[in-house]
Amino acid sequence: MSVTTGNDEIRFIRPAVYFLCVLLLLIYQGVCWGGGILHVRPPVIEEGAVAVARPICQVSKTLVTVSESYVEFKTHQVFINDNDYPLDAMFVFPLPGGKSTTVTEALVDGNKEGFHIVESEELFPLLKKIAIETEDPASIAIANGPAIVIDRIRLHIRESKSFHISYRVPTKIRDSALDITVNMVGERYALAPIGEFDILVRFKMSRPVRTSISPTHRITVEKESAQRQLVSVKEKEIRQPSDLRLLTSLGGSGLDIKLFSYPSRKSKGYFLAMIEPPLSNIDNRRRPLDVAMLLDYSGSIGPEQLALGKKVILLFLEKLRPVDRFEIIKLTSKQRRLFGSAVKAEPQRISSGVGFLEESDNGDGTDLYNGIICGLETLSSKKRISLMILVSDGKSTIGKTGGEALVEMIKRYNKNRTRIFVLALGNSPDLTTLSQIAKTTGGSVFRSNESKDFGEAITKWISSIIAPRVVDLVVDLKDLDPELVVPDPIPEILGQDSAIITGRYGKVSGSEVSLSVKGKIDGHNVSDMRKIEVSTQGSSYYFIPPLWAMRRMANLLDLEKTRGQDHSLVANIQELAEAYGFEICDHSPGHEQAFSQLLWKYKTSCIPEEVTRPDFKRIGNRLFRQMNGYWSQTGLKSGGSERELVFLSQEYFDLIKLNPELAPIVAIGPEVKFQNKDQIVKTIRYAVKEDHEGPEIETRERLDDRRTHDK
């Protein structure tokens, strides 16, 4: 592995700005091999070796800094020996293969430690030894090498050890996208939950940093300026964390399109498009919001109208960002609050809100007076924009019921100048009272029966409240099936957020499909076209097909919710769920809350694993299903030869050494069935031998002898 400093900086010349810029993509793929493996050797006493638990990874923090000339990785891990014996250990930290890498720091407990860099040829026997000792293939995942190795580490009883590794990978980003992976093999190897788990990716570029999406983790994105952006993942007590993958588009200052595709040799290919707003007002981007959402559950609201009210609040929740805060309050004879205060609009909090809306409540009277006071008290910050969404028929039956009393109360308690926007529910709402409430605060009123197309009208009303940048987006997909493009309709672009759409195409290799976008930017019409050249070449964007399937599933579940039991619809849902390993949930009485929370994930999440059943697992572009104790790849080719290998045998390791791309696959377990070119390979724990008396299972002693021979 060559070592370089990579100090030459690439100058970026900004192109002339035009309102719709279409870029061809040249992707830089950076891989940070995340945290290291701390492998301990069991102590030997008079009776022999003692079984010990692997050290617990208490802290895992990775900082990735991206500039024009290099990507710098800094990883900090803390392990604790929770055994009743002192242990000798070895630390193995994987490095990116095939790139010039500069290791700038290797510290143990803050002290410089002697280390050596081991190439893949030398690393493989070491990983083989670890796998045999632990009878666990997890370490095989890094068999591609190279790695930093620090040996002769001593961990006393209950002692913690910290490891800090820093290195740089030079990069030359020529066009408009950057793909970064942070591998968490060391954290998974530790087995126990990680106490503190943080990943920060900081962009310091000379060109605009546009859209960041992750198909593996819920990320928070903070834009400091057009060229500065911070992406973060922060979790606690996370078990078996997935590798982080982050796709970020770069460049362009007008309305922009970034296009990614994933070909399919069997049927239609897949694409993902990022529609990005102009950067002209980056410094005036939407300020953080505090939103109180009040929903009237009184008996005067019919079931259909209540369903519309829930839909409106769900639409508002979709527009919130993690920096915004919200609270949901149900209005009956007593106020019922979800959190008790305004909380950040993080995914788990929003999911709780979706479930809260589906919980049944007795439809008795309405104390509108105290409900609005409760909402105003929730919006206490003077540094943030405060909004209240009131969904009600305006008929207060408990407490102070007069409209004038409500208006006077709002004037007295609305110290933060909260604007109240009202959705008037019911067949005969008290529009006089509701209009006075909205007018007093600078809000507006929308009637639920004002438009035949309620969904389109309510979306425009919500957008007028939050002030979108780009509206009336229409994607015209020539030669594509419109039903296979999601979401539909395309949502408005708010602030500096981007619209993400996915779809499928059916053209043959060498032909083109056309994608055109029309919309309005600050009232001005814009349009342009992007062409996709269809190819059967491999692509690293294997997350696009399951992401498309998630949005497609959301559409089908929405139809099921409105149509009821439609046999063809149910069959389509079942087929999609089986093809992608997705969860499905019955919408029958008693299951409404679980159904709504799952539907929310299908609509908004970019992470396929959030809707994948526990008996399915994705490794790259392959899907595995657990069957009879082993992981079997779905869609295996029939008619080819089959090969059976004993786990940890010499033939097992020979296959991995000759085909290092199989390392992440065999690392998922000792018994795996997968496709290797035209051959189906199955790894098993014990060999089965045929003789004249019938099959005989190889004994544990015989397998141990085999391992000794393999060593």
Which CATH number characterizes residue 488's domain? 2.60.40.690
Asked whether residue 646 falls in the same domain as residue 625, the answer is yes
Alpha carbon distance 331, 358 (integer Å): 14
pLDDT at 441: 87
pLDDT at 709 over 70: no
From the DSSP assignment, how many helices (H) and strands (E) are in the chain?
A: 14, 41
User: Domain range for residue 652?
Assistant: 617-710
- Domain closes at, from 235, 251, 267: 251
Candidate ranges 218-227, 509-518, 665-674; pick with highest mean pLDDT: 665-674
Asked whether residue 275 falls in the same domain as residue 136, the answer is no
How many domains does the chain fold into?
5
Alpha carbon distance 137, 671 (integer Å): 10
Report pLDDT digits (tens) over 594-605: 888 898 899 889
Asked whether residue 270 falls in the same domain as residue 291, the answer is no
Asked whether residue 60 falls in the same domain as residue 176, the answer is yes
Q: CA–CA distance from 679 to each of 508, 561, 618, 639 (Å)?
A: 27, 44, 20, 9
Report pLDDT digits (tens) over 452-495: 566 667 777 777 777 655 666 666 666 666 556 777 666 666 66
The DSSP secondary-structure symbol of 662 reads G
Q: Could you tell me if residue 1 is inside a domain?
A: no
More confident residue, 161 or 641: 161
Q: DSSP letter string over 275-340? A: EE--STTGGGPPPPEEEEEEEE--TTS-HHHHHHHHHHHHHHHHH--TTSEEEEEEESSS-EESSS
Average of per-residue pLDDT across 372-380? 89
Q: Could you tell me if residue 181 is inside a domain?
A: yes
pLDDT at 393: 87
pLDDT at 259: 83
Asked whether residue 458 falls in the same domain as residue 607, the answer is no
Asked whether residue 394 falls in the same domain as residue 478, the answer is no
Question: Token pair for residue 639?
Answer: 């008619």
Average of per-residue pLDDT across 84-93? 93
Asked whether residue 276 falls in the same domain as residue 347, the answer is no
Q: DSSP letter string over 129-156? A: HHHHHHT-GGGGGGTT--EEEEEEEEE-
Q: What's the angle, vertex CA 35, arms to CA 31 and CA 36, rounded to 5?
A: 115
Alpha carbon distance 406, 680 (integer Å): 72
Report pLDDT digits (tens) over 538-588: 678 999 999 999 999 998 988 887 776 678 888 999 999 999 999 998 777
pLDDT at 336 over 80: yes
The type of residue at 171 is T
Asked whether residue 606 falls in the same domain as residue 681, the answer is no
pLDDT at 114 over 70: yes
Alpha carbon distance 105, 700 (integer Å): 44
Min mean pLDDT across 14-18, 98-102, 223-227, 526-530 is at 14-18
Asked whether residue 204 falls in the same domain as residue 333, the answer is no
Asked whether residue 302 falls in the same domain as residue 365, the answer is yes
Please list the residues that pair with 215 across neighbouring strands: none
pLDDT at 72: 93
Min mean pLDDT across 1-5, 295-299, 333-337, 442-446 is at 1-5
Asked whether residue 201 falls in the same domain as residue 298, the answer is no
Min mean pLDDT across 114-123, 193-202, 545-554, 584-593 is at 584-593
Report pLDDT digits (tens) over 275-285: 887 776 544 45
Q: Could you tell me if residue 15 is inside a domain?
A: no
Q: Which SS3 state, helix, strand or coil, does residue 3 take?
A: coil
Q: Could you tell me if residue 14 is inside a domain?
A: no
The DSSP secondary-structure symbol of 242 reads P
Q: Could you tell me if residue 17 is inside a domain?
A: no
Asked whether residue 671 falls in the same domain as residue 626, the answer is yes
Task: Tell me if 110 sits within 8 A of 141, measured CB to CB.
Answer: no
pLDDT at 673: 96
Report pLDDT digits (tens) over 514-526: 777 777 776 677 7
Average pLDDT, the chain: 81
Q: Could you tell me if residue 594 is inside a domain?
A: yes
